[in-house]
Every structure is written in structure tokens, then in C-alpha cells.
Amino acid sequence: MFFKCENFQRVGAFKFRGALNTVSLLSDEEKSRGVVTHSSGNHAQALSLAASMLGVKATIVMPKNSPTVKVNATRGYGSEIVFCENNPESRVETCTKLIDEYGYTLVHPYNDERIIAGAGTAALELLTDYGPLDVVMAPVGGGGLLSGTSVATKGISSLTKVIGGEPENADDAFRSFRDGVIYPSIRPNTIADGLRTNLGDITFSVIRANVDRIVTVSEEEILSAMKILWERMKLVVEPSGAVSLAAAIKIKNELKGLRVGIIISGGNVDLEKFFAEFEVAQ
């Protein structure tokens, strides 16, 4: 197995690739007006850093109940935070208002060809460094990483299988892929918080065309893969980032003897409690 460790990526997740690619491709006029997105997760920090590196103003819409640590981290990369109510409608509404008022360009977290192409560079590097591979595996939430992975992989070696890993408790992509329609993600109840969203129309069509299979895994299987990564491989990986390995372990009999690439998507875990207990214990 060959691991692409996107937990080592800037801002601790693959999201930086898509954000940097997208902001880079904006016109000078778009750049001068600035970018906006709604996210409280890795995409917010990724866009903030990418924009600041390219001298572009970024505004991030976040629910007002977002954890202070995330708000500060995002602000730390130099972007402006605008708070909204704690529901999806308010997030979209607040974003739309900002776009109307200031002419910002919306940078969607996944449903965008530039985001997909950027995310695909992880698989591109993995195949360049360790190819040929028989299988490449990536987690799937909104589908940006999996669709990018599939385009990059099939573009380099069309015979390499691309397999997505998804939590059973948020299996909308599995069902959408099987049935050919986009299902919404209803009440996803998984520790893999980065994989709770449903596919977009663009990621869905790329995945339908290029991905070979989606394997779902239980919460126990995700935790068990995460444990292997932390205890045996000494890597801090977030639950979403361990889902590709969990899926590989689930189908290990089929992978026997094959060269398998595993994309570890990120490593942003809240360790405050862990370190607080460490201090108490000493």
C-alpha cells in the first residue's frame, strides 16, 4: 500500500489543492473583487490561505455557533469572517447577499471543475511517485476528492481501478452511484464529519463516468482504521481521512497482491481534550 498523506498538506487537508487552483484561475478582475465561501471546516482555511498567498481578499461565511478554535484558525490566515444563523438557508442567503453587494466570486467547496482538478493532483503525485498502481482509493463526501482522483488516475492509467470509501451512516454517494440519481444526505450520523455532504451535479457526473466502485464502512471500521494510522503508523489523521483505509481493509481479500494507493485526506482533529488530560495525568 502506498499512502498519500494529505494530513501533511498545508492547512492539514487536501482542500488546499482545489482552493489554490481555483483562486489561481480567476481573472485579474475577479481577483481584485475577492472570493467568498460558506464553510466551517477545512475548505474555509484552505481558501483563506490560498487567497492570502495570491493577495486576494477572502470572506468566509460561518454559522455563529462555530467553534472558536476554527473561527480563529480561519481568521489567522487573513480572511474576514461573516457569521450567519445555524441553518443552510441562512448560509446561502448570507453568501448571496455578499456576492450581490461586493461582487465576490463564490468558491464552492467541491462542485466546481477547478476544485476537482486541484484535488486530483494528489492522485497525480501518488501515481507519478509510486505508479503503476492497480487500485487508487479515496474517501467520498461532496465528491471533490474522489472525482479529481478518478480523472487523474484514469488519465494516467485507464486500467487502474478507482474505489471510493464512504461511511455507511452517510451513504448517499453509494446509493447515488448505484441508482444514477443524486440523493440528498439526510441526517448523516458519522464521526467522519468531512463526509456528511451529498454529491453535487458536477462531482456526480465525473464519479459516474470514472469511478469503479464505492465501498461503505461502519463507524467501528472507521475508528479501527484511524487507530491503525495513529498507533502503528504514527500519523494524526481525522476520521474522514481514515475512511479510504477502512474501505481497503474491508475488501482486503480482493486487494491481495495488488499495488494499492490510499489517499489520506486530512488530519485536523481537535486534540484539546487529549492534551488537557495529558497535563492532568503527569
Q: Give the active site residue among 66, 185, 240, 265.
A: 265
Q: Which three cell numbers stand for residue 159?
A: 486500467
Q: Are 239 and 246 spatial neighbours (Cβ–Cβ below 8 Å)?
A: no
Most distant pair of Cα atoms in the chain: their distance = 57
Closer Cβ to a copy of itself, 112 or 193, answer by number:
193
Neighbours of 58 (CB within 10 A): 26
Pattern 132-171, a copy of itself, x by CB under 8 A: ----------------------------------------
Q: Are 139 and 243 spatial neighbours (Cβ–Cβ below 8 Å)?
A: yes
Closer Cβ to a copy of itself, 151 or 235, answer by number:
235
Q: Active-site residue 66, yes or no?
A: no
Residues 6+ apart with CB under 8 A from 261: 1, 2, 3, 4, 123, 126, 127, 130, 133, 135, 136, 137
Q: Active-site residue 15, yes or no?
A: yes
Q: Give the active site residue among 4, 15, 31, 154.
A: 15
Number of chain residues interacting with a copy of itself (CB under 8 A): 27
- Using CB under 8 A as the binding rule, the residues of this chain from 225 to 254 that contact a copy of itself are 226-227, 230-231, 233-237
Neighbours of 103 (CB within 10 A): 13
Q: Nearest approach, Cβ of 138 to a copy of itself (angstroms)?
A: 18
Binding site for a copy of itself (CB under 8 A): 5, 7-8, 12, 190-191, 219, 223, 226-227, 230-231, 233-237, 267, 271, 273-275, 277-279, 281-282
